[in-house]
Amino acid sequence: MASETVIELQQIDVQFSEKGQEVHAVDHVDLTVSRGDIYGIVGYSGAGKSTLVRTINLLQRPTGGKSLVLGQDMLSLNAKQLRQERQRIGMIFQHFNLMNSRTIAENVAFPLKGHKSKAEIKAKVDSLLKLVGLDERADAYPAELSGGQKQRVGIARALASDPEILISDEATSALDPKTTSSILDLLKHLNETLGLTIVLITHEMEAVKQICNKVAVMDAGRIIERGDLLQIFAQPKEQLTKDFIDTTIQLDAALEAVRQEPAVQNLAPSDRLLRLTYVGASTDQPLVATLFKDYQVTANILFGDIQILQGTPFGNLIVVLSGTSADLARAFTYLHDNDVTVVALDGKEETPA
């Protein structure tokens, strides 16, 4: 069944003019998000992520292009229609944006005012606070809550109007890793139970890895690479994408340690120091055993990291492969045929297949 498109940005362009300087914050970006996606947009600060997603609900009007959301051409709406349409698009922020002089329940109730009776509002707020695990704290004030709890309030408030889309703008950036992980789990739970489509902006690939099924990498106002999470992790093409993925593996630190090991310091001329990366099915195959059994190539594993992405293993190994050059060549073909990406770490010119 074809997936339903809920957001379609076409050739979105945003230029700012500040102190006589032109800033091209978003440069002709296309983006398609399907219902049920958790679509991660990752990039360094200033890449244009916030500006881009704010053109979805027109918090930022683009200087060019089209924003089609839930079947509406957002730029064609009048003010009243736009207010209504924005009810279908919730948003959460890095700094929570809560009203400090109001209780948690009052914060969550705020978007409902004027739309429902008092009793309906209370029932809705109770169920939202329960959904985010804060039913015990309805009468507390934001200052009494931890950062993670404040973000849960932000999420409950964003869900008050039963949106179909939630935009998360660096919502976990101010939180410690454990709290970040629990908020991401909550977003995933909402995606699964409510069918909520989520657009998640972050500078942390770790967050994308935890819950997204799609990812786009942004740099200097453009999307430089995009695709299914597994596909991007298995075969990133752009260096920036590779750098972001490596932050989730801490490969640099591993490589530095590995380079001190005797096995690496005393490499035989035909030995190869390599990084092997594989996703999914390849992991099930006893790679190392096959290399030895079928190709007489021994693999000395110096570092191994296997993570689970969307229920699928994603493995990275740093290995020394030893064998005759003919056997190594055949082994490289075998690895290539099994979708194992091989990258030379020994600086040898001859790059394996």
Ligand X SMILES: Nc1ncnc2c1ncn2[C@@H]1O[C@H](COP(=O)(O)OP(=O)(O)OP(=O)(O)O)[C@@H](O)[C@H]1O
For residue 321, is it left (φ>0), alpha (ψ between -120 and 50) or beta? beta
Residue 236 is a binding residue for ligand X (CB under 6 A): no
DSSP letter for each residue of 85-110: HHTTEEEEETT----TTS-HHHHHHG
Contact 207, 200 (CB under 8 A): yes
Nearer to ligand X by C-beta: 91 or 105? 91
- Return the half-sphere exposure (C-beta side, CA atoms, 13 A cut-off) of residue 348: 14
Determine the Cα–Cα distance for residues 43 and 59; give it in Å rounded to an integer. Answer: 20
Instruction: Identify any residues that bridge with 222 across adjacent strands, giving them in sequence order.
Output: 219
Residue 167 is a binding residue for ligand X (CB under 6 A): no
Q: Which stretch binds ligand X (CB under 6 A): 47-55, 110-118, 334-342, 345-353?
A: 47-55
Give kind and range of the element (H or E) at residue 72.
strand 72-73
Nearer to ligand X by C-beta: 47 or 190? 47
Residue 289 is a binding residue for ligand X (CB under 6 A): no
Among 5, 10, 13, 23, binds ligand X (CB under 6 A): 23
Contact 43, 51 (CB under 8 A): no
Minimal distance in Å, beta carbon 88 to ligand X?
23
Among 48, 62, 142, 154, binds ligand X (CB under 6 A): 48
Tokens 């690895």, located at residue: 335
Residue 59 is a binding residue for ligand X (CB under 6 A): no
Residue 46 is a binding residue for ligand X (CB under 6 A): yes
Residue 352 is a binding residue for ligand X (CB under 6 A): no
Among 31, 47, 211, 297, binds ligand X (CB under 6 A): 47
Minimal distance in Å, beta carbon 12 to ligand X?
12
Footprint of ligand X (CB under 6 A): 16, 18, 23, 25, 43, 45-51, 170
